[in-house]
Amino acid sequence: MNELIESIAARLLPDEAALITGAHTRRYLTGIRCDDGCLLITQKEAIYFTDSRYIEAVKQAAHGLACRMYNRMTDSLNEAFREFHIKQVLLEASETTVAAMTRFRDRLSATPAANDRLDDWLSALRAVKTPEQIKKIKAAQALTEFGFRFILEKIAPGQTERDIALTLEFAIRKKGAEAVAFDFIAVSGENTSLPHGVPGNRRLQKGDFLTLDFGAMLDGWHSDMTRTVAVGGVSDEQRKIYDTVLEAQRACLAVLRPGITGAEGDKASRSVIEDAGYGEYFGHGTGHGVGIQIHEEPRLSPACKEMLQPGNVVTVEPGIYLPGKFGVRIEDMVAVTEDGVENLTAATKELIIL
């Protein structure tokens, strides 16, 4: 077992096992990229199960982890339960559908439990990144920033949002990204008031804001970044909103450190926006964790009472969105250190007018 798997095994009772079915969690714990299979963890052993399509590739990537091929997953799991005297199996509640739970109850010899125990262990484990994991996130961010530099040279009036999103995605993937971190947001003009707007056929015009929210996935690890740029020029109101969001973002970055809560981090940026009179136009949280998934713990939000700790990687992304007019969001990704944060995002935040 590696250290990550051992940390789960150490929490189990002798007659318990943990069943990892989520593809991202399996990859996090083992480093194995596989579309189908499961990872069974007991106090004494960890076994990666998959079918004939993937067993050869899994064995090649296993690095000493036991691997077994199944024809029907539940039959092979029952054999392992008998072998290790397992009476209860913990499931990932967030990954277990009602249909899957019904199937497990009908077919498994051990009692399936889809409560929050396993999810809580995994969430806490994933929230604190190791230096090696942060290094991988930095590599994904480097690809993201390459994409930003590339797309700045291509943006011009007349292009559609969709064309910009596709050009940006192709550049990042061609440069070496395993995949994109999520469906890119590239919205312009009045569409920038939609925090998660979908790129469409609207063509860029002079005087538009263009919001780009994008990231790369590399070796299973994600990056996340947002920049809002202007096309041709900006109005006084656009400049004011941009400067307010930038001030709010910098205010949050200035207070982030171990020991403060996610709510305190959120308040630092939200207070700037509220004091400027735009509080009602900032509806989402200030940030979220990033790692093996694009959204992880911890969160920077008014409801988050969890304290930040060294190794957390979070976004800082306040925004102001004026319905039907325009919006601005600026997002960096930072790693919490022993006494503050390391900003993993190097791209300028000063307003770029193309």
Q: What is the CATH number of the domain that holds 103?
A: 3.40.350.10
Across the range 25-32, mean pLDDT stands at: 96
Compute the distance between CA of residue 299 and CA of residue 101 in angstroms, rounded to an integer. 29
Q: Predicted confidence band at 176 (pLDDT cuts at 50, 70, 90)?
A: very high
Pull the structure tokens for residue 34.
């596989």
Q: What is the CATH number of the domain that holds 209?
A: 3.90.230.10
Q: Predicted confidence band at 286 (pLDDT cuts at 50, 70, 90)?
A: very high
The secondary structure element, H or E, covering residue 149 is: helix 131-152
How many structural domains is the chain composed of?
2
Helix (H, G, I), strand (E, B) or coil at 316: strand
Domain boundary among 126, 159, 180: 126
Indicate if the alpha-carbon torsion angle 266, 237, 276, 249 is positive or negative: positive
* Confidence at residue 223, expressed as pLDDT on a 0 to 100 scale: 98
pLDDT, tens only, 243-273 = 999 999 999 999 999 999 999 999 999 999 9
Q: Is residue 353 part of a domain?
A: no
Are residues 99 and 145 both part of a single domain? no
Distant-in-sequence, close-in-space partners of 89: CB < 8 Å, separation ≥ 6: 16, 17, 18, 19, 77, 81, 104, 108, 110, 111, 112, 113
Domain boundary among 70, 96, 126: 126
pLDDT, tens only, 104-157 = 999 999 999 988 999 999 999 999 999 999 999 999 999 999 999 999 999 999
**What residue numbers bound the domain in which 69 lies?**
3-126
Across the range 229-244, mean pLDDT stands at: 98
Q: Is residue 316 part of a domain?
A: yes
> At residue 154, what are phi and psi to the nearest 5 degrees?
-105, -20
Domain boundary among 77, 111, 126: 126
Q: Is residue 348 part of a domain?
A: no
Q: Is residue 349 part of a domain?
A: no
Q: Is residue 16 part of a domain?
A: yes
Please spell the DSSP secondary structure of 16-64, one letter per residue: EEEEE--HHHHHHHH----SS-EEEE-SS-EEEEE-TTTHHHHHHH-TT
Pull the structure tokens for residue 103.
């199937």
Q: At what angle do helices 73-84 and 98-107 cross, to 10 degrees?
A: 50
Q: Is residue 210 part of a domain?
A: yes
Q: How far is CA 6 from CA 41, 65, 257, 301, in A?
A: 9, 12, 29, 32
In sequence order, what are the beta bridge partners of 48? 39, 67
Q: At what angle do helices 161-175 and 131-152 cross, to 10 degrees?
A: 130
Are residues 104 and 169 both part of a single domain? no
> At residue 193, what are phi and psi to the nearest 5 degrees?
-80, -5
Assess whether the previous peptide bond of 157 is cis (omega < 30° from 0).
no
pLDDT, tens only, 302-340 = 999 999 999 999 999 999 999 999 999 999 999 999 999
* Confidence at residue 12, expressed as pLDDT on a 0 to 100 scale: 97
Are residues 39 and 89 both part of a single domain? yes
Are residues 12 and 104 both part of a single domain? yes
Are residues 93 and 221 both part of a single domain? no
* Confidence at residue 1, expressed as pLDDT on a 0 to 100 scale: 86
